[in-house]
Structure 1
């Protein structure tokens, strides 16, 4: 900061992160912090700017460690951070939505003749009884190339796939996955 600045004291501030302030878009030179005593701007060192720009979320509770310096020419106090840590999450942060489960049931003639219609109706009845029908997408597919094990049904939970399982087992897996 040069010789015109005199170090006053170390600081340890806690508050709500409001956002970044910079001379140019995408360059976060300062962070804004809401504390009980008011809003403050704290200068960030270059090595912290990029990493904090990617990790901090508005509304997050943070702790800022640094020091305050007095500009002897202008009489203004500047706050400069050397460490910024998160102490809590954003109170209004919404968890990411869980992907809907998919059940793919083969509707080709071979599967239908070997119990595909009964499987589909039993599956819908079981899911409805347990209140899971609205949390799952049932898709009618063409041949799944497993005709020897007909009727074919595939349950997809995220990236996992379960093949040829009973409707009660599907409902149990869904309950475990969705809770």
Structure 2
């Protein structure tokens, strides 16, 4: 990993296999769900093809490897040298359910073009469907998309949805949390 990375320690993690990360069939990382959240672990080339055939989504696995610290950015990276199924039954809700976030612009341009109405309709729709405790609504500054005001962005995990109606937001959230 180069000179800017310092080896920290041996890595022994057990958790739920959440899938692979990478471009169309050429994945480099696996996502592992542990009680404190999700982590990405880099896989060596020799393990990638065999793991893609043997791992099942939701399966409990053990990852042995090393963790390295980027001395410039302070970021910790994980690299595996062995991945094994533990034989334990998958735990349905191992990772805490991530809250969704809705970011609504509260600058004057968006407010004049219906931002207040959008916000109140959004809060009412979420309350009616029982989703208000699972979602954080954040008031933001300008989102630099003034031509499509009022602006609101729904973020669920790493996915972002823009220009959607409150009913569509509620439907997406119901599908995500069910």
TM-score (norm 2): 0.51
1:55 corresponds to: 62
2:100 corresponds to: 101
**For the residues of structure 1 that align with 2:149 and 2:85, how far apart are their CA atoms?**
56
Answering whether residue 132 of structure 2 is matched by residue 125 of structure 1, we say: no
Aligned Cα root-mean-square deviation (Å): 2.4
1:144 corresponds to: 143
Stretches of structure 2 that go unaligned for 5 or more consecutive residues are: 1-9, 11-60, 64-83
**For the residues of structure 2 that align with 1:94 and 1:158, how far apart are their CA atoms?**
16
In our comparison, the structure showing a higher alpha carbon Rg is 1
- Report the count of equivalent residues: 99
TM-score (norm 1): 0.51
Stretches of structure 1 that go unaligned for 5 or more consecutive residues are: 1-25, 27-53, 57-83
**For the residues of structure 2 that align with 1:86 and 1:96, how far apart are their CA atoms?**
17
Which of structure 1's runs of 4+ aligned residues deviate more than 2 A?
84-91
Does structure 1 conserve the Cα–Cα contact (< 8 Å) formed by 2:62 and 2:86?
Answer: no
**For the residues of structure 2 that align with 1:97 and 1:109, how far apart are their CA atoms?**
36
**For the residues of structure 1 that align with 2:85 and 2:143, how far apart are their CA atoms?**
51
1:87 corresponds to: 87
The CA deviation at 1:90 is 7.6
SS at match of 1:139: strand
Answering whether residue 111 of structure 2 is matched by residue 112 of structure 1, we say: yes
**For the residues of structure 2 that align with 1:121 and 1:164, how far apart are their CA atoms?**
16
SS at match of 2:133: helix
